[in-house]
Chains A and B, each alone.
Chain A
């Protein structure tokens, strides 16, 4: 594209922006009154280590099942493709893509609008990104490259990024676990009964980082402190991905 065209586009962009800004100001922020046949379900994630909320870069370390003392500087993961199952077995699907950041409160809510009234028996979701979206390059919103969750080439997104430091004898050194690739996508179903009747409900989702290091495989950070899901790391990445499957539980819906 030539400079001149670029300029023209810029002018259009600028115009559009001004327009959208002014329309923004006039926008009525009050939500439409709820249609009575539908409700809202908000998934709220808290990120813990065995019941204690995680602290970024904490100077006191957590101890995992293998006895490693470690802390966390980065902990983020994707929740996508949420599905709600009614007791009659019918399903309501939401094509959502949400990046949960343990240290950014504003990221920890995923709101499902227009949930049909009814009695439900389960919530299902992916920890990660389905293969279509995983291989479509940088996208918008939580799938944008600025989240730092995109691997550079065809490998797609990191489904989970965990980084920090651990005690290695007397010294302290870093670890990093970047879990991704289609084969390590976790599809999770949590059975829980709840009823939506034209109201707003909250699902309290608890992610326990302790589970990342155990069940089924007790993982010793010292055995491998750097896993990026490269082809030669499939065994270890697979163990951690399997541990992730029961990392999140639905505490209650009310």
Chain B
């Protein structure tokens, strides 16, 4: 009986969801011969963003996965996207602070987790790319990443015995372009959905309301209370009902008083944007150490201590850091509870999903 009710609730939710998708996701028909990809999203997420000119197809996603893990896209054929975005580390770079590109040159930003990207509207720590398609064009030519010229990569793909046929299946043409490569990779990236963490299983999937925190029974719920109440975390990492655990916006969260990496200001040229970076999702954060845009914190304990007592003032410190800047005064037990809550966002079925791993 209870299950039937839940199902019914899901269906109602689903129906409304699709009325919306009907309005917003104005999908073009898939290229001739390609199979529409059955793209289901959990009821407790909002609607994903799928560009009209890149509908998801089974063939496109599978081609995208192959390209994601193919060294052919790098200058000396030694690196692929997966080199710096390893699923086991929530698609970050194997625990490294900075990534090393093919020429052994090191970047100055920490690799970003690739999770629930279909909901994001800005990409990179400083938001310099506006779509996943645009983002995917970047690393290939970036001199400190894959350092390849697109024309070279494209001619290597054209000369390959299998790729032209795969592009034909996915996009209806054997003529490979960098735009089509980017589209295929973006399709694969949009399938990387994480929604099966302990928190999801215990609270969201059974549609439990979170007001359990009025009388917290366990460490996770006590941590949840800090997160959603005086910890102020929810202002930027998602309020109740917004379970992507990011507001998909940019903030200065008080890492430095003198700001060297200007973040969003580099893109907007507005000094009011100094030191603002994209809020990362907290899903699977247990696996994506080290933390922040420059990977300065090695552990989640260090991150929690930053918010508890280490916030630095500067002219662009976010309005929602006002309370945190005064210090949170968490006890050792509180910090443990907050940590337990963050760890409850880990989704092992995501990081171990064979659909996402190199085969």
A interface, CB within 8 angstroms of B: 1, 5-6, 9-21, 23-25, 27, 57-59, 71, 73-74, 137-138, 140-141, 144-146, 148, 150-154, 163-165, 171-176, 225-226
Contacts and interface: CB of A to CB of B under 8 A. Distances in A.
Interface of B: 3, 6-7, 10-11, 14-22, 25-27, 29, 36, 38-41, 46, 205-206, 209-211, 213-214, 228-229, 234-235, 238-242, 247, 270-273, 313, 315-323
Given A11-B40, A150-B239, A17 B319 contact: no
Given A5-B7, A58-B272, A152-B239, A11 B38 contact: yes
26 contacts: A11-B38, A12-B11, A14-B39, A14-B40, A17-B21, A17-B39, A20-B18, A57-B272, A57-B273, A59-B270, A73-B319, A137-B240, A145-B238, A145-B241, A148-B235, A152-B229, A152-B234, A152-B239, A153-B211, A153-B213, A164-B319, A165-B315, A165-B316, A174-B322, A175-B319, A226-B319
Contact of B322 (A59, A71, A144, A225): A225
A58 to B, nearest CB: 7
Contacts of A154: 211
B118 to A, nearest CB: 13
Nearest to A153: B211
Contact of B16 (A1, A140, A164): A140
B18 A16 contact: yes
A10 B38 CA distance: 9
Contacts of B316: 165
A71 B273 CA distance: 13
Contacts, number: 132
Contact of A73 (B209, B229, B272, B313): B272
Contacts of B239: 145, 148, 150-152
A134 to B, nearest CB: 14
A127 B40 CA distance: 36
Top 5 A-B residue pairs of the complex, sorted by shortest distance between their CB atoms: A145-B241, A138-B241, A14-B38, A10-B40, A176-B319
A18 B50 CA distance: 13
Given A173-B315, A226-B323, 4 more contacts: A1-B206, A16-B18, A163-B320, A175-B319
